[in-house]
Structure 1
């Protein structure tokens, strides 16, 4: 039996808005919204997708699972993401960490790594 990772599902109060934010961040595509949620996929469709589903309650605690992304220019990427609604987050990372922890516009933490 083969099991494959298809998607990471993310709760959102406004799934379409958050899907658009992540699509712009990753340079991915927003697929046609469905009654069950909104999918964001890579242009080549080979990576697992992000799937945003509606919830009524706001995020209350730190994520148990988060996304790691990277950019060629980490500092410029942080500035761009913050200008579009992300916020810096302190979740216990060391002061000399090689990554920056941010929250998306709905408060979901993610890490912006230095280029590899």
Structure 2
């Protein structure tokens, strides 16, 4: 018996808004809305389904699970995400490996790395 990754789910107080933001950033589409309580994003550059589950209150503190995304234009993609509403946490790395840690509009941290560095 083996396990496979089916989706990555994030808690949020506004599942539709956060799912829409992620769909726009990844070129994916909202696949299911389930009356706004569990919204799934599929397609685009996503290898798995992203899901956003509506909760009354998100768990406080730093998220323990985050997305690591790749691009062939780290600086350009980081700037695009910042213009789209992400916030900069920190630019990291050295001449051998660079990545940028950002947070989505709900404060969930994620990283973007230069594709040729991975």
Indicate the structure with greater helix content: 2
**Alignment size in residue pairs:** 113
* Root-mean-square deviation over aligned CA pairs: 2.2
Secondary structure in 1 matching 2:34:
coil
Find out whether 1:39 has 2:17 as its counterpart.
no
TM-score, normalized by length of structure 1? 0.85
Find out whether 1:65 has 2:58 as its counterpart.
no
TM-score, normalized by length of structure 2? 0.83
Q: Which segments of 5 or more consecutive residues in structure 2 lack a partner in the other structure? A: none
Find out whether 1:87 has 2:100 as its counterpart.
no
**Which residue in 1 is equivalent to 2:53?**
53
How far apart in 1 are the matches of 2:99 and 2:21? Answer: 21
How far apart in 2 are the matches of 1:44 and 1:114? Answer: 15
Runs of 4+ in 1 over 3 A off after TM superposition: 93-97
Following superposition, the deviation at residue 108 of structure 1 comes to 0.2
